[in-house]
Structure 1
Amino acid sequence: MHKENQLPQSPREGILFMMIISIISVNTIAPIIMMLDQGFNTGNYLETLRIIPLLWVIIVLLVTLVAEPIVSKAMPTFATRTDGFNAHILLNTFLTVTVLSVCMSIIGPWVGMWKIGIEPFQNFFHNWFRNFGVAIWIELLIAQPIARYAMKKIHAKQASKTENVNI
């Protein structure tokens, strides 16, 4: 894919991009899913806030070590070089959210209950469909657009600095 100003163009920008998406995602998806599961009240929300730092570390590790390798291998199967930028972004987001929601539908309850058990497997499909639905909409409507907007602004600022130097 050509150099796109809405995507990171350096490792430093890649880290910033992932930080923006993961912080927004963990701070919205986790509370929504937990409250759908256990009820909407202040106690449940405060409990979610307690585990968010651990969930954030888990998400970053899963994205880096699990989702990115799987998605990078699957992308060529579903998308070609002639497909547009939006098609690539949508497919990449869909595949990444699929992998992460499967993993977090199992790991999330373990972290929330502070114990490893079979409970996440007993209601996996019910929970996974709900978790996927929440996560895909948060990613598509909030996290991804904000992160791409930040990249666009960074690249516009860099371009204006380059133009000022060349003048």
Structure 2
Amino acid sequence: MHGETRLPHNAKEGILFMLIISIISVNIIAPIIIGLERGFSKEVYFETLKLIPFMWVIVVLLVRFVAGPLVGKVMPKFVGQTDGFNARVLLNILLNVTVLSLLLSIIGTWVGMKEVSMEPIQNFLHIWPRNFGIAFWVEMLIAQPIARFAMKKLHHRQARKAVNK
């Protein structure tokens, strides 16, 4: 996948890519999940906005230190040399969303409730599939395509600058 214009080429671009995805994801997924839990209202949405910065930091840390390394180890076991870009991206999204939704179904509930309790663990089989589904489709249809589009535009601009030098 080296040289693919829709993906980051270096660490700086990787950070930008992760920032785009995480900011979009947290700002869509958290309000939907909390709205489903507490009802969709202006008051609930404004309460959710107060939690988003904390959730965003948690998501970035989990991606960087848990999901990223774990998915990086698992991906080669499932990806073949003839698998195309879309197959690899789909598997990457599926694995990352699985890991993150497993963890955030518990941690996110604690943040939302502002307390650590057994409730998300007791209700895990009820909340995790819903959270996974929401996160998967947001990643698949919104966050990832926007981030890949941004990378493509960035690389196009860099290539244009290199030609004009």
Q: What TM-score, normalized by structure 1, do the two folds share?
A: 0.97
1:97: Cα distance to partner? 0.3
Identical columns (%)? 62
Contact 2:6/2:149 (8 A) holds in 1: yes
Separation of aligned partners in 2, 1:81 and 1:88:
10
Gap regions ≥5 residues in structure 2 = none
Which residue in 2 is equivalent to 1:94? 94
What is the SS of the residue equivalent to 1:22? Answer: helix
Q: Kindly provide the amino acid, as one letter, of the partner of residue 67 in structure 2.
A: A
* Offset, 1:150: 0.3
- CA root-mean-square deviation: 0.7
**Cα pair 2:2 2:9 within 8 Å, conserved:** no
Give the superposition deviation at 1:81. Answer: 2.2
The Cα shift of 1:2 comes to 3.1
Counterpart position of 2:158: 158
The aligned residue for residue 138 of structure 1 is 138
Unaligned runs of 5+ in 1: none
Deviation at 1:77, TM superposition (A): 1.5
- Measure the CA separation in 2 of the matches of 1:11 and 1:18: 10
Counterpart residue number, 2:82:
82
**What residue identity is the alignment partner of 2:102?**
V
Figure out how many residues of one structure are paired with residues of the other and give that number: 165
Q: Does 1:52 align with 2:52?
A: yes
2:115 and 2:150 map into 1 onto residues whose CA distance is 38
TM-score, structure 2 length as denominator?
0.98
How far residue 93 of structure 1 moved from its aligned partner, in angstroms, is: 0.5
